[in-house]
Amino acid sequence: MDGLAPKLELALKALSMSRGRMAAELAVDKSLVGRWVSGKVVPSAHNLTRLTELIAGRRPGFTLLDWDRDLDGLAQALGVEASSVAADVLADWIPPAILREAVQGTAARGGAYEGVWRSTRPSSDLPGRFLHDHLLIQRSASGLLAFRTGVEGVSYEGVALLLQHQLFSVAADRAHGTLLFSIFNGVARQRAEILDGLTLACLRDAGGSPVASTCLLERVADPSGDPDEDLRVYQALIAAQETPLAAEGSVSETVRAHLTREADPASLGLGGLLRMYFGQSMARGSSLEGLG
């Protein structure tokens, strides 16, 4: 019964049922349902049986054995498409086998990346200075990781495919018609605390010039179990940020060196390559100390 949390989220979507309504139907606290869906707590055998009975009342024939299905199989039992959102956007250009791998990876390990993050990346306008943005990563009913990030009036929303130890992401700012792409090194087992990788976007100059940069993510808030509350935390951080420019001296020398090591590859004769080697990655899980 691996990856039960996204299966519960899928069941809520299939039944058009809120967490509060499910809690009331099961006579448990709403926060407990939130912890089930976030993956922080696994339902007891008693509660899982009652949950199964609740679903069976709306989807006749549903049994405890259906929880052992993968997301696609569970979706079939519930009468919905598990990856409908992802399929609408991605299936035309991502091979189905890769999309299935991403859904399975998210079911197994997606919870390790959920939460609110702060990014650190080099400034393209002020050499030697750095910028901070905030991101919110949540598992979605599509079976993938959904994320959003915003800075200076630009708000990107998109999806991330968890494939082996990397997160491949694409997001769009609908208001301005621009895209953001990224690849981040992930973690193997623990809950992720630090990630690093590369991003590709457009500058806010007259021509929307493409810019690629190294980037480091640090977790600043764990998921609460309530997606709406996590969104409020993220939005509060965005609203409180007067400028994305990091204060001088606030970025540690370790992070500074890590992000700029490949920022001037011409000096190495590499012809404009920008790299974030997995072997030199700062990606870390919760069992290891932060950067300080």
Nearest C-alpha neighbor of 160 from the set 139, 141, 173, 146: 146
Instruction: Please indicate, yes or no, whether residues 78 and 114 belong to a single structural domain of this protein.
Output: no
Q: Is the pTM of this model over 0.75?
A: no
* Pairing status of strand 178-185 against strand 130-139: unpaired
Nearest C-alpha neighbor of 137 from the set 150, 125, 146: 146
| Domain residue limits at 258 | 110-285
Instruction: Please indicate, yes or no, whether residues 121 and 242 belong to a single structural domain of this protein.
Output: yes
Q: What CATH number is associated with residue 10? A: 1.10.260.40
Instruction: Please indicate, yes or no, whether residues 60 and 141 belong to a single structural domain of this protein.
Output: no
Instruction: Please indicate, yes or no, whether residues 237 and 168 belong to a single structural domain of this protein.
Output: yes
Instruction: Please indicate, yes or no, whether residues 171 and 260 belong to a single structural domain of this protein.
Output: yes
For the chain, how many structural domains are there in total? 2
In-domain check, residue 104: no
Instruction: Please indicate, yes or no, whether residues 65 and 190 belong to a single structural domain of this protein.
Output: no
Q: What CATH number is associated with residue 220? A: 2.40.128
Structure tokens of 287? 């069992």
Instruction: Please indicate, yes or no, whether residues 26 and 127 belong to a single structural domain of this protein.
Output: no
> Among positive and negative, which fits the CA dihedral 9, 15, 16, 20?
negative
The tens-digit pLDDT sequence of the chain (292 residues) is 556 888 888 888 788 788 888 999 999 998 999 889 888 888 999 999 999 999 999 999 999 999 988 777 788 888 765 444 444 456 667 888 888 899 889 888 999 999 999 999 999 888 889 999 999 999 886 788 999 998 767 789 989 999 988 999 999 887 778 899 999 999 988 899 999 999 999 887 788 889 899 999 999 999 988 888 898 999 999 989 889 999 999 999 999 989 987 655 555 544 556 777 787 888 888 764 444 4
Asked if residues 51 and 5 have their Cβ atoms less than 8 Å apart, the reply is no
In-domain check, residue 157: yes
- The rounded distance, in Å, linking the Cα atoms of 48 and 69 is 15
Instruction: Please indicate, yes or no, whether residues 150 and 253 belong to a single structural domain of this protein.
Output: yes
User: What values do phi and psi take at 118, rounded to 5?
Assistant: -115, 130
Instruction: Please indicate, yes or no, whether residues 78 and 203 belong to a single structural domain of this protein.
Output: no
Given 67, 82, 97, the domain boundary residue is 82
- The rounded distance, in Å, linking the Cα atoms of 200 and 275 is 12
pLDDT of residue 290: 42
